[in-house]
Structure 1
Amino acid sequence: MSYSVSSALYRETAARLADAIDGGSYFSGSVRFDFDGMACCLLASVIVYRRREIFPEGEFEPIVDLVPVWWEFHTVGEAGEVINDFSFSELKAYI
């Protein structure tokens, strides 16, 4: 059995990863959450690239790219771990 990662799961994972990165330029750790009956866990070491944007309201440094050094994405259901089709390249589209 294989678990297909949906665009909604990519969005959720990207949002949680962005929160975990916060304002940093490097992230190494895990992001764990439940989604659609599955326990999901992204383990990753990621270099974060940003760009500076200046507006009258202030300066911002949004994430423009993530370069994974290493990553794993696990999905676990009631019967145990399930192989999935997660792609870090696909995740980057949601950051």
Structure 2
Amino acid sequence: MGGGAGFSLSGNHSLKDNRNLGKIRPIPVAKDSYSYQSKIHLVNLKTLDESIQFRIERKINQENFRKWIFRGIWIGGLILFLILYLIN
């Protein structure tokens, strides 16, 4: 299960190879800014509006769901506290 000494030597060898390759390969240079103007004709604005509206509605629904969960936990804790208080 441990792999033995051969596994360790192989790992060291591949590490050295990768280090040497890193010295040879050029460093990728990112563009300053990406131009969307070349692809604007491919966009369906109606579909884009629908997808944005869907994401906004989904975010609002998730926030409302979290609020109801929090309220439920809070009310449940309050009821539990009152029950325990009244029992004693």
| Range of TM-score over shorter length | under 0.3
Pick the structure with more helix per residue: 2
- TM-score after normalising by structure 1: 0.19
Under a length normalisation based on structure 2, what TM-score does the superposition of the two structures give? 0.20
